[in-house]
Amino acid sequence: MLDAIKKVTVMGAGIMGNQIAIHTAMHGYQVVCYDISEDMIKKAAEFSDSWLEKRVSKGKMKDSEAREIQKALTFTTDTAAAGKDADFVIEAVSDIVAVKKKALAAMDAATPAHTVFASNSSYIVSSRFADAVCDPSKVLNVHFFNPALVMKVVEVVRGPHVAKETFDTAYAFVESIGKTPVAIEKEIYGFVVNRIFSALTKEACYLVDQGIASIEDIDTAVKGALGHSMGPLETLDMTGIDLEYNVYMEKFRTTGDMADRPAACLTEHYAKGEYGRKTGKGFYEYSK
């Protein structure tokens, strides 16, 4: 079905959704970046233009190439326009099941019957929200990493409800946009990368809460001794403390297990609106 994919719709114009949309448009697809918020759409369009202009000014892209990408990429809050003739929909809304179900149901009503729905959820398996669309066999996880314009790996998850054609199409699509697909053969919460990452960040947050070492020293130790390019707390600031907090809260709502609650330091930063780089402060402070 890859040859049949002409129009790609990205739901959610946040950091991840916007970057996925730009990257996809760079690889020859007609792309619509959709969000229910006019403000988010405006910011996404401004970022797209600015990013492309910088690529041109640095000599990494021709001006003609940038203009072609801009022609291929549109931004809208109109659900009907976003869903019309969409062959492949990438959902990049909040990692909360109820939010995903509502968004997918609305888009399903506006898309053709053949549309594949690929969720960029960081942790939640698609079988938990696939019933929001008419044909759950066309819903799967296709998980990009932040920053999506840079990171090569994309996890493609073969859930028990996912049709072989859906999985194969999504896998081929990921390859077609210059990414490296990793096949996850069974659904599991957090997939591969984030299960390993969560184990690391959970322990790092525990060390912060207990006052075992400073934030800087925890990150320095992980980078220097384990060879990581970024420390776990630096990485949380980059990906978003709000995302991590909501992931833990969504899991806690599901399990009721007190051990699944977000760490105290995450909760404190979240309550203060300190989400990391996007807000200028998280575990670290960032200049504007």
Residue 121 known to be catalytic: no
Among candidate residues 18, 120, 155, 250, the one labeled active-site is 155
- Is 91 a residue of the active site? no
Is 143 marked active-site? yes
Token pair of 280 as six digits? 């200028």
Sign of CA dihedral 196, 198, 203, 208: positive
| Cβ–Cβ < 8 Å for 121, 141 | yes
Of 48, 119, 121, 122, the active-site residue reads 122
Tokens of 182: 């990793």
Known catalytic residue at 122 = yes
Catalytic residue among 48, 91, 126, 143: 143
Amino acid 213 reads: A
Phi and psi dihedrals of 75, rounded to 5? -125, 135
| Given the residues 18, 120, 121, 194, the one annotated as active site | 194
**Type of residue numbered 171:** Y
Backbone conformation region of residue 48, classed left if phi is above 0, alpha if psi is from -120 to 50, else beta = alpha
CA distance readout (Å), 156 to 46, 223, 269: 30, 28, 32
Q: Which residues are catalytic?
A: 122, 143, 155, 194
